[in-house]
């Protein structure tokens, strides 16, 4: 097998959650470019079709599924739909919500809601996907540099959920890599051009970018390339690892 062949996903189905926009959509298109058919899942079903059209434009199949990953039964339905398309080889857990609330004012309901999507939702989706990965596969969890460093925002729930996701990644890697042949890794993005960063207060990103060794925002396609590496046989000896894609934020 040649080097470039290891980056191919021909004949495999990939599930991408949070595929309606931003980083999730970019990851889905990237997976299609290397040969995967896609199941695209998100709560905002009306926005999935644009991603699906981009996938189909590359000659790959795409199914859109409205899904709330906090519901384990819905996650199992997403996996069942994927199996109908072919052998499931990849899950990218990109669904997530941002939250910046001072800890002194954050309600229990809000804190739980962030963890339910960002952490528990990834767990339920990983369970569902692993159950149908009959010949092994790869799971990529999209965490955040907020799991590793403070970004200067009041993000207790978000940071806790993303840090928990790194622990979940390691544990699932130990449980599933040898027994099921499923590698589980994570990527921790810094500041990328996305819907989520577009919601930040004006001027905040400028201050962050100024101190980066690579002084700019990341492009969604750059994160997609990192995800592709972890999703394919190119990273066949990696499991339980986290790749930090942050323009150098965590080394400053």
CB-based burial of residue 189 (10 Å sphere; 0-12 exposed, 13-18 middle, 19+ buried)? buried
**Residue 217 DSSP one-character state:** P
Q: At what angle do helices 121-132 and 156-176 cross, to 10 degrees?
A: 20
Contact partners, residue 249, CB within 8 Å, separation at least 6: 145, 149, 190, 191, 208, 211, 212
Cα 227–29–159 angle (5° rounding)?
Answer: 45
93's tokens: 């857990």
On the 0-12 / 13-18 / 19+ scale of CB atoms within 10 A, 57 is exposed
| Residues composing the chain | 252
Q: Do the beta carbons of residue 219 and residue 163 sit within 8 Å?
A: no
Task: Name the token pair of 209.
Answer: 């970018």
Q: Which residues are catalytic?
A: 158
d(CA 84, CA 90): 15
- Could you tell me which of 55, 43, 35 has the C-alpha nearest to residue 17? 43
Closest CA to 190 of 203, 205, 201, 202: 205
């Amino acid at each position: 097998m040649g080097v470039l062949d290891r980056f191919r996903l021909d004949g495999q189905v990939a599930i991408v959650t949070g595929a309606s926009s931003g980083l999730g959509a970019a990851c889905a298109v990237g997976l299609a470019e290397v040969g995967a058919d896609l199941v695209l899942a998100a709560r905002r079903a009306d926005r999935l079709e644009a991603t699906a059209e981009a996938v189909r434009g590359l000659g790959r199949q795409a199914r859109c599924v409205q899904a709330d990953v906090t519901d384990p039964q819905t996650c199992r339905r997403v996996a069942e739909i994927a199996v109908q398309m072919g052998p499931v080889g990849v899950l990218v857990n990109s669904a997530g919500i941002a939250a910046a609330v001072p800890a002194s004012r954050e309600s229990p309901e809000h804190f739980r809601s962030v963890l339910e999507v960002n952490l528990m939702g990834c767990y339920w989706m990983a369970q569902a996907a692993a159950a149908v990965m009959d010949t092994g596969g790869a799971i990529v969890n999209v965490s955040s540099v907020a799991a590793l460093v403070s970004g200067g925002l009041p993000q207790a729930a978000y940071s806790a959920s993303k840090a928990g996701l790194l622990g979940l990644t390691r544990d699932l890697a130990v449980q599933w890599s040898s027994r099921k042949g499923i590698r589980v890794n994570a990527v921790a993005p810094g500041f990328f051009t996305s819907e989520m960063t577009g919601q930040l207060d004006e001027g905040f990103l400028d201050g962050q970018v100024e101190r980066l060794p690579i002084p700019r925002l990341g492009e969604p396609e750059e994160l997609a390339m990192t995800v592709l590496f972890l999703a394919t046989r190119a990273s066949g000896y990696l499991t339980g690892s986290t790749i930090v894609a942050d323009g150098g934020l965590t080394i400053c």
